[in-house]
Amino acid sequence: MYFVLKYIIFIMPRFERPRASTIGTPVYHRRRRDWKDDRDLIEEIATSVNKLNGPYEYYDKGVFAFREKVKAFRASGYENNKDVTYLGIWIREELSKISKTQASYDLRVHTLPFPEEIDSTILQMEQKASGNSFNKESELSIDSLFPDPNLRSFALERMQILHKGDLIAYLSSLVSKERDSLLTNSASIMDLIQICEYNLNLLELDTKKRYAVGETDLWIPSLALGIEIRNTWESEDEIELIRVLSDTNFRLQTRHLVVVTPDDLSDETFSLIRKIEARKVIENLSIIRIGDFNNYITKIKEIEESKF
Sequence ranges of the domains in the chain: 2-24+185-305, 32-132, 136-182
CA distance 28 to 283: 29
Polymer length of the chain: 308
Helix (H, G, I), strand (E, B) or coil at 307: coil
pLDDT of residue 291: 83
Pairing of strands 285-289, 256-261: parallel
Tell which residue, 167, 221, 202, 199, has the closest CA to residue 293: 199
Rounded mean pLDDT, 4-9? 44
* pLDDT tens digits, 215-253: 899 999 999 999 999 988 988 899 999 999 999 999 999
CA distance 173 to 158: 11
Q: How deeply is 239 buried, as exposed, middle or buried, from its count of CB atoms within 10 A (0-12, 13-18, 19+)?
A: exposed
Asked if residue 142 has pLDDT above 80, the reply is: no
CATH no. for 2-24+185-305:
3.40.50
Rounded mean pLDDT, 165-173? 82
pLDDT of residue 187: 54
CB 246 within 8 A of CB 282: yes
* Higher pLDDT pick, 60 / 180: 60
Asked if residue 305 has pLDDT above 90, the reply is: no
Averaged pLDDT of the chain: 81
CA distance 187 to 157: 28
pLDDT of residue 229: 93
pLDDT of residue 119: 92
* pLDDT tens digits, 40-92: 999 999 999 988 888 899 889 999 999 999 999 999 999 878 899 889 989 98
For the ranges 63-77, 100-114, 283-297, the one whose mean pLDDT is highest: 63-77
pLDDT of residue 162: 80
Asked if residue 4 has pLDDT above 50, the reply is: no
pLDDT of residue 11: 46
Tell which residue, 263, 261, 247, 262, has the closest CA to residue 210: 247
Beta bridge partners of 271: none
pLDDT of residue 194: 86
Q: What whole-number percentage of the chain has pLDDT above 70?
A: 81
pLDDT of residue 264: 79
Helix (H, G, I), strand (E, B) or coil at 225: strand
Rounded mean pLDDT, 290-294? 86
pLDDT of residue 9: 43
pLDDT of residue 135: 47
pTM of the model: 0.56
